[in-house]
Amino acid sequence: MQSKEISANFKGVIDSTLREGLQFRETNFSLADQIQVLHYLNDLGVKRAEVGNPIANGQAEIITELVALDERPILISHIRNRLADLEAAILTGVDGVNILCTVDPERLAGMNKTIEDNIRILEEVITMAKANGLEVKVGIEDFFGQDQETALEVLQLADQLGVDRVSIADTLGIAFPWQVQQQVSWLRERIQADILVHLHNDLGMAQSNALIALLSGANYVDTTILGIGERTGINSLSVLLTSLYVLDNDRFIDDYFLPILTVMDNWLARTLNIPVPFSMVTNQETAFSHKAGIHLDAIKKHGPNKYEPFSPGVIGNQRNIIIGTQVSGGTTASEVQQFYQLNGRS
């Protein structure tokens, strides 16, 4: 029942490889790299991708080039709550803006603003963005660590002005699933607009938090390829989609071209000169490797579904059988070959 609720609430990912992903320590994308990212996302079926703030050095020219691509996702620029940022975004031709707000008193004091100043400016920015035909999202930085009533005041204003989405972020990556469930449910009761969650992974709970957020009424999840981003990153696009596939096979194999996931993750890993994490299902060496004798015996007798979450071919990966080790038992090379012939690499 819960899997159906998650599937019903989920409306899509907004991939941020070209914004949040740029903040990863090892990232230094060329324009060609950024174009390739959008090609992969488009082929996968991702409808929306986030790009940076055109105010930043060199970003306006890059974003303008990306907007000019014939086949691409909807491009949404991540901007501060400033009219100058919005005006720069409009000039690039992007399809939408994500307006980042803070309700942190210390941050506001550092910007010589009050919360009232921020709300007044936000109304102006939203109004201008909508007048220019843009999709609009308003996001609260570090939502789970802020005063909820003040955050709600900002998000309800955005909701009343007809934004497409509101966004809440676990900026520090320290929210626990029960906190996410409680606060997303609380927000869902008070907001009509779609809710997006942006979840950092410092404690390794971004994936669990994303699923519990969707169960609690959120509609979108920010992702990046390989989960790259500031510090330990955010939700991995491939991990989220494969989790949703396990929950609801029919829908997610129709909505997304999952066989591209392994190629996409490994391309980015090579580009950044980092490994695909051994714990990810798109790792071509480890993810579908079978080594223990009890596993090998069961696979020979009953098929790979005994010890695989799904067939590796679903995501374009392949199965590996490891023999001749201290834990592999008596499986022989000829039996491995027979296994591949019977079960294939799909």
Q: Which domains does the chain carry?
A: 2-272 (3.20.20.70), 289-343 (4.10.430)
CA–CA dist 136, 138 (Å, integer): 7
Q: Name which of 172, 223, 226, 162 is nearest 194 in CA terms.
A: 162
The whole-model pTM stands at 0.93
Question: 257-260 contacts: CB < 8 A, separation 24 or more?
Answer: 257/43, 257/44, 257/45, 258/44, 258/314, 258/315, 258/316, 259/313, 259/314, 259/315, 259/316, 260/40, 260/43, 260/44, 260/316
User: Whole-angstrom distance between the N-terminal and C-terminal Cα of the chain?
Assistant: 29
Which member of 198, 290, 295, 302 is catalytic?
295
- 46: tokens are 């991702």
Per-residue pLDDT of the chain (346 residues; tens, 9 = 90+): 688 899 999 999 999 999 999 999 999 999 999 999 999 999 999 999 999 999 998 999 999 999 999 999 999 999 999 999 999 999 999 999 999 998 888 888 888 888 899 999 999 999 999 999 999 999 999 999 888 899 999 999 999 999 999 999 999 999 999 999 999 999 999 999 999 999 999 999 999 999 999 999 999 999 999 999 999 999 999 999 999 999 988 888 788 999 999 999 999 999 999 999 999 999 999 998 887 777 877 777 777 788 888 989 999 999 888 777 877 777 776 666 666 655 444 4
Report the 10 Å Cβ neighbour count for 53. 20
C-alpha separations of 260 from 39, 250, 251 in Å: 11, 17, 17
CA distance 282 to 261: 7
The reply to whether 295 belongs to the active site is yes
